[in-house]
Amino acid sequence: MQALDWLTENQSKGYSGACWGNHFDYQSRSFYLPKGVPTIVWTSLIGHAFLDGHDHFKQDKYLEVAVSACEHILRDLDRLTEGDTLCLSYIPTANKQVHNSNTLGASLLARTSSRIGNTQYRSIAQKAIQYTANHQRADSSWYYGEADNLHWVDNFHTAYVLDCFKYYAASTGDDRFVKNMMNGYAYWKKTFFLPDGTPRYYDHKTLPIDIQCSSQAIDTLVFFHDVDPENLPLALSIAKWTIEHMQDPTGYFYYRRYSSLLINKTPTLHWGQATMLCALAGLYKLL
């Protein structure tokens, strides 16, 4: 219900379709975003949840929200064009390019297109995935973004991109990016985990360890288990390490560990608790 309330509020602000933003002002490394302004990240993630609802309940009202979210992406967001590719903007108030947000939007468009046969959604999704595929680095990694101040490689944003490539391939049957995906997946597995299951944050250093490094790593390994059935021990070792080092005795998970002694124990609802619940539930289903 809260998601639907937020949808109604944002549509009343003149956006073309279902969209969601933060309930607080937000300053990233590249833009300031006032409370309530939608992002393609939130809109795509929630759009995927409505598609999941449609898959489970077979009710058209859930699919209609996902379609509406796709219309927001197409109508309200700028795009950077690069040859025959494009990058969807992170936010509607400025043209900001980030690989994980671009591919998240593409994955929602592709998955929705597979249900309603919308060729425009599929075409935009293909061009957006192609943009990120074109910017895959020689070692098979991706920068967070192509702007000079966004040139870092981290664990969970890489995992987001991998998930989106997989959604695209599964939704469209287009396998032209599978090699990019699997090369990126191999790089990610090789780079971001210590032998004991510790999830590293960056490609060049381990700390700080963010709870999202743990939760998204488990989630992505579960998602890729059909193409990498040998990845279960890694997922289990990450879960074990996280429970031992990032879980409070009362049950909730910490936000971030900076060292063996310095820990930010803030119990963030979405960033820590919901994502770990999702990850552990998915892992449990495989056992």
> Domain coordinates of the chain in residue numbers?
193-287
pLDDT at residue 14, rounded to an integer: 84
Check whether 6 has a pLDDT greater than 80: no
Residue 219: is its pLDDT beyond 80?
Answer: yes
In this predicted model, which residue has the larger pLDDT, 39 or 13? 39
pLDDT given at position 30:
83
pLDDT of residue 29: 84
Say how far apart CA 32 and CA 152 lie, in whole Å. Answer: 20
Looking at the predicted structure, is the pLDDT value of residue 108 above 80? yes
What average pLDDT does the segment 56-85 reach?
Answer: 97
Average pLDDT over residues 124-140: 98
Among 33, 17, 151, CA closest to 93:
33
pLDDT above 70 covers a percentage of the chain that reads 95
Least confident of 11-15, 76-80, 209-213: 11-15
The mean pLDDT value of the chain amounts to: 95
